[in-house]
């Protein structure tokens, strides 16, 4: 689907979206802590998610925008592109610095969309907060490349990082949404294969249970922009997994043996549809003896740390991630 066509549809729908947000704000149907700009962005994202359901499920890739960094952030950030394990990558790190810390970042997008470009700003903010080199990985996407293709790309990238001389005690893995699920699955796969684990991991609203039917899907639907997916979960899961069993741990990491995983920092929004599965995963990891820090963003939505500049909770979450990773990875 053409991104231009999607933007045209959004432009035509914008007056209705503005009216909808205004009405919901005035009548108290949205958290009063939400700034108007944030409420409008959430509603716009809900529109795009709803509009993209059919083409994505049909295997049509959206021409997602890959915006450059804001000028100030760009002036402070080194960027370099390349390839690793046969996949495109993009490095970002604070300009003028030579950090030893390295973070493999796995972008979100429901396993079928998203890219390094869509998550470029979040990765740059993370690089500065953690004083680290952040490497975004362009792993393969479904439905053209179904499970476990994307996961194998993540494992291969990790192995090549180690082969290139990176030390596991200076490495972390991070990811949001589907990328958070892949982060959790990659940790399990590395453990199963006897490969070195990272020193820590940051999971942002991770999709860790592909069979999830917990109450937050219904309770938080009025707030979260992922709510249009609710009626399509029975289609999305097979689009990603093909004939694979959604109950297997590498597809739904919440069902895996989490003992022995490295320290985890997990952020989830109080008002997001994945809230309950993420909280359940954090509790299961804690019971397995993992050092888990769970942060629930009050009144926040899916992957709220990505909204730096719109809500203070986002910048706070990125700062928390930076401090966590600096504490666990030598500089």
Could you state, in order of their start, the residue ranges of all structural domains in the chain?
3-57, 80-328
Has residue 3 got a pLDDT over 70? Answer: no
Least confident of 29-38, 145-154, 277-286: 29-38
Residue of 107, 275, 302, 328 with catalytic role: 302
Asked whether residue 37 carries a pLDDT value surpassing 70, the answer given is yes
Closest to 43 measured CA to CA, from 55, 29, 56, 57: 29
- Distance, CA of 266 to CA of 292 (rounded, Å): 8
Does pLDDT of 75 surpass 90? yes
Mean of pLDDT values over 16-34: 90
- Tell me which of 128, 252, 272, 328 is the catalytic residue: 272
Contact call for residues 106 and 90 (beta carbons, < 8 A): no
The answer to whether 280 and 205 have CB atoms below 8 angstroms apart is: no
Phi–psi pair at 136, nearest 5 degrees: -85, 135
pLDDT value at 145 more than 60: yes
Q: What DSSP letter does each residue of 212-274 carry, written as one string?
A: ---THHHHTTTT-TTGGGGGGHHHHHHHHHTTS-TTSTTTSGGGS--TTPPPEEEEEETTSTT
Residue 10: how many other CB atoms lie within 10 Å: 14
Catalytic residue among 177, 205, 216, 252: 177
pLDDT of residue 63: 67
When the pLDDT of each residue in the chain is averaged and rounded to a whole number, the result is: 94
Is residue 169 part of the annotated active site? The answer reads no
Write out the two tokens for 203: 């999971």
Q: Per the structure block, which two tokens stand in for 162?
A: 């180690």
d(CA 176, CA 102): 17
Indicate the pLDDT class of residue 323, thresholds 50, 70 and 90.
Answer: very high
Q: What confidence category does residue 2 fall into, taking pLDDT thresholds of 50, 70 and 90?
A: low
Assign domain 80-328 one CATH number from 1.25.40.10, 3.30.2130.10, 3.60.20.10, 3.40.50.1820.
Answer: 3.40.50.1820
Establish whether 177 is a catalytic residue: yes
Q: DSSP per residue over 134-185, as a string?
A: EEEE----TTTS-TTHHHHHHHHHHHHHHHTT--GGGEEEEEETHHHHHHHH
pLDDT band at 58 (very low <50, low <70, confident <90, very high): confident
Q: What is the pLDDT of residues 274-297, one digit of tens each?
A: 999 999 999 999 999 999 999 999
Residue 57 pLDDT > 80: no
Task: Clarify whether 90 is annotated catalytic.
Answer: no
Q: Contact, 43 vs 23, CB < 8 A?
A: no
Using DSSP bridges, classify how beta strands 264-269 and 200-204 pair: parallel, antiparallel or unpaired: parallel
Q: pLDDT by residue (tens digit) across 205-260? A: 999 999 999 999 999 999 999 999 988 888 889 999 999 999 999 999 999 999 99
Under the banding of pLDDT at 50, 70 and 90, the label for residue 56 is confident
């Amino acid at each position: 689907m053409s991104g231009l066509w999607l933007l045209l549809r959004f432009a035509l729908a914008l007056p209705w979206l503005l009216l909808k947000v205004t009405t919901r704000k005035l009548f108290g149907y949205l958290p009063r802590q939400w700034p108007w700009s944030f409420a409008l962005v959430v509603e716009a994202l809900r529109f795009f998610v709803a509009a993209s359901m059919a083409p994505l499920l049909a295997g049509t890739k959206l021409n997602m925008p890959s915006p450059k960094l804001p000028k100030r952030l760009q002036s402070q950030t080194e960027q370099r592109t390349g390839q690793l394990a046969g996949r495109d990558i993009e490095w970002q790190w604070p300009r003028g610095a030579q950090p030893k810390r390295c973070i493999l970042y796995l972008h979100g997008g429901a396993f079928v969309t998203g890219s390094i470009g869509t998550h470029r700003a979040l990765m740059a903010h993370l690089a500065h907060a953690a004083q680290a080199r952040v490497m975004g990985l362009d792993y393969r996407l479904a439905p053209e490349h179904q499970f476990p293709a994307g996961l194998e790309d993540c494992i291969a990238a990790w192995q090549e990082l180690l082969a290139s001389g990176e030390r596991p005690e200076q490495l972390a893995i991070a990811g949001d949404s589907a990328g958070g699920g892949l982060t959790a699955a990659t940790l399990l796969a590395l453990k199963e294969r006897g490969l070195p684990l990272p020193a820590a991991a940051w999971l942002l609203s991770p999709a860790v249970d592909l069979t999830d039917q917990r109450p937050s899907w219904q309770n938080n639907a009025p707030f979260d922009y992922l709510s249009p997916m609710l009626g399509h979960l029975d289609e999305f899961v097979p689009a990603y997994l093909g004939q694979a069993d959604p109950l297997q741990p590498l597809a739904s990491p919440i069902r895996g043996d989490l003992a022995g995983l490295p320290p985890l920092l997990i952020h989830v929004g109080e008002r997001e549809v994945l809230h309950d599965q993420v909280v359940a995963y954090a509790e299961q990891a804690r019971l397995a003896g993992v050092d888990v820090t769970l942060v629930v963003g009050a009144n926040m939505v899916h992957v709220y740390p990505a909204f730096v500049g719109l809500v203070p909770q986002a910048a706070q979450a990125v700062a928390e991630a930076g401090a966590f990773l600096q504490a666990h990875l030598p500089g």
